[in-house]
A and B are shown apart, each in its own frame.
Chain A
Amino acid sequence: MSGLVVENLTIDHGAIRAINKVSFKVPQGKLSAIIGANGAGKTTLLRTLSGLKDAQSGSATWNGKSILRQKPEDLARSGIMHVSDGKSVIAELTVKENLALAGLWRKDKADVAKATDEAIELFPRLGERLQQSAGSLSGGERQMLAIGRALIARPKLLLLDEPSLGLAPLIIEQIFQTIKTLTAKMNLTVVLVEQNAIGALKIADEGVVLNLGSVVAVDNAQTLLNDPAVRAAYLGF
């Protein structure tokens, strides 16, 4: 199957089993939200998919090829971009330099320039701050910069870890809408890890609900949003 297929994935985080036999699929071009409370294992899952962490057992494939036990830089170069949680920018570098990182290794410099222009068009705030250090940006601007940088690599699979974390409601709305637009426009496949379940499910095609490292529900995002049992038990509203 084309897309991301995760089967029986088990990951330990130190002495703790963070992810236990997790299976889900994200078809190409779709947006899946992985939701669950703090400590559900969402970040550990993403870090394994991007090569930052090793899995104990199970499999994960992207378009039929295994992505486990590979270096994060190789996965990034093959089009799997992970925007890690918090403020995934290098504070000491300028906005322009942060953007350039994901294009340094690309041969097609003309397309890097084009992708950079597109990222700036998408987030005009970045364009106004190109020479500023990324450390001087607000939380929302940093998130824009992190996503903008990922786009410069022309990714196929985007792994987003808590893009809404610590942002004001208005900015969250804007970031979520941008993610949805991008997914359609660039034919991206997106795994969106979020504590903000409602916001994430609203823009997602599918939802995967994690609880203490296990999948407790997988369904159409709309269905999950309207399921009283899921809402009460895991979404908290």
Chain B
Amino acid sequence: MNQFITAVLTSLSSGAIYALMSLSLVLVWRSTRVVNFAQAGQAVLTTYIGYAVIQKTGSYWIALLVAVVSGAVIGAIIDRFFMRPIFKRITSGPIVMIAPVVATLGLLGIIQAIIGFVWGLTNQSIETPVSNAGLSLNGTVVAFSLYNALVLVIVTLVMVLLTLLFQKTNIGLALRASAYSPEIAKLSGIKVDAVRTLGWAIAGAASGLAGMLYIPNTYLYPNAMDVLLVFGFIAAVIGGLESMAGAVAGAMVLGFAINFSTSYISTKLVFPTAFVVLILVLLVKPSGLFAAKKGRSA
């Protein structure tokens, strides 16, 4: 019973971190049709910035705030000064789809190289702000800590805030309209380019949060977020790529699949499970388990 409860709890807290990453990817995909490989670089860069803040101030919480804000700023800068010029120059042919994606791959390499140059390639670590020791349940210690619980609470709170932002505010309406139909949004007077940059900023902030929540459980090095990028993508694909709720649900499916297979079968099953889930979803329902409903096409 303890094993089951622990598996559920760890599924939720790791799923929560995957959700932040898949949400970042979906936000960028929806608003600019770019699969953003650089998201892993952005997330690890902001975590290094957070690490530097901890070195200076000793406060995890100040570092978290700085990482999230710098994530937003870096996301906006990448869109404004990197992606937007690319889209301006390339307007037709198959290269339209490929060039921006390859550009993000290049950007990922550049960011990771800069990090290595500034901070070196050795592992650094960030201490958890609250105890990461397993809690005791019915007298036995389980693999779920106070820190895991904190992660779950923070991510839930952020999801609620994002939902309110997207569903209840004018900015959210502009973000959704620009994602669904840039042309109609422009013709309605919405500054779609600026709205897209805002989408990149929100995605950058979310991945910045993901980095600061994920790294304390492991080590910080230039490629530290690559794994999360892969899981984020898988979660996004399970969720149908278009839907934010789908991204979160996909992340939870992945979190449960990974934690249950590693808890009940073998700890070596992290990646095999992730890819089996991905391939099953692609075979059974390629549009994603939670693809957004389309209106009637008549």
Contacts and interface: CB of A to CB of B under 8 A. Distances in A.
A71 B295 contact: no
A105 B180 contact: no
A8 B233 CA distance: 51
Q: Is the interface of B mostly helix, strand, loop or mixed?
A: helix
Contacts of A202: none
Interface in B153-197: 170, 173-174, 176-177, 180-181, 183-192
A93 B183 contact: no
20 contacts: A72-B183, A72-B186, A76-B187, A82-B187, A83-B187, A89-B184, A90-B184, A92-B294, A93-B173, A93-B177, A97-B177, A100-B173, A101-B174, A102-B188, A104-B170, A104-B173, A104-B188, A138-B298, A139-B298, A153-B188
Contacts of B88: none
Interface residues of B, number: 22
B295 A91 contact: yes
Interface in B41-59: none
B190 A90 contact: no
Interface in A67-110: 71-73, 76-77, 81-84, 88-93, 97, 100-102, 104-105
Contacts of B298: 138-139
A101 B180 contact: no
B180 A92 contact: yes
Interface of A: 50-52, 71-73, 76-77, 81-84, 88-93, 97, 100-102, 104-105, 133-139, 149, 153
Contacts of A102: 188-189
B188 A149 contact: yes
Most buried by B among A72, A84, A102: A72
A51 B191 CA distance: 13
B253 interface: no
B296 A136 contact: yes
A81 B189 CA distance: 9
A101 B185 contact: yes
B295 A136 contact: yes
A101 B186 contact: no
A165 to B, nearest CB: 13
B173 A97 contact: yes
Contacts of B292: 92
Nearest to B170: A104
B294 A93 contact: no
Nearest to A136: B295
B188 A101 contact: yes
A72 to B, nearest CB: 4
A104 B184 contact: no
B176 A84 contact: no
Contacts of B185: 90, 101
Contacts of A104: 170, 173-174, 188-190
Nearest to B298: A139
A135 B294 CA distance: 7
Contact of B189 (A84, A88, A133, A153): A153
Nearest to A166: B298
A149 B192 CA distance: 17
